[in-house]
Amino acid sequence: MSRAQNADVGAAGEQRASEWRPELALVDDAADHRVDGHLTEDVVAEIGAVETVVAPARTPVEVKTVALRKRDGSYSRRGELHIRAANHAALLDGNGEYIVVIYEGDRADPDALDWVRTVMIPARTVDAHITAWCEDRQYGLEIARVPWPRLLDIEQTEALADDDELVGPATETDEVVA
């Protein structure tokens, strides 16, 4: 996968995230390369029977676009988030959030990707699932690879992929994890 294709898929995921969470203001990488955006308003979710602020305005956000399944010839495995150490540290320092966008489809055509699930997860929760840091050979940065099943239920997510009614910027497949 080329850098340009990675960037195109990432940009498509960021667009999906901003449609799902209109309070997400994306920032140009030149302005702040450590995060993809900030929340302009509080994000409120119903926890039990109580509406609770799960992410206040000005919370830093990093969007991670990840394949439901990654295919390499005849080999297939579930996709993984590639988390840059510096970006992750900025999120932890700012009590930030990840928006994880899971897709199916051909990465060569980001406009034709099918969005399976979109979830907002606290950086501290993701941090608990990082087992090792390594150097990314393509970019020369320290990263962690976190398979999405460490963060989300496999059966529920894969069942959503089989749902032919996944359309629009916000569906019942989208959620906030407190």
For the chain, the domains span: 3-176
Residue 177 confidence (pLDDT) above 90: no
Q: Report residue 172's pLDDT band, with 50, 70 and 90 as the boundaries.
A: very low
pLDDT in tens, 16-66: 999 999 999 999 876 667 899 999 999 988 888 889 998 999 999 999 999
Sheet holding 24-26, edge to edge: 24-26, 37-39, 60-67, 97-104, 114-122, 174-176
| pLDDT over 60 (residue 95) | yes
Q: Tell me how far apart the alpha carbons of residues 110 and 80 are, in angstroms, rounded to a whole number.
A: 18
pTM as predicted: 0.86
pLDDT tens readout for residues 130-170: 999 999 887 789 999 999 999 988 888 888 776 544 433 34
| pLDDT surpassing 80 at residue 174 | no
Amino acid at 23: E
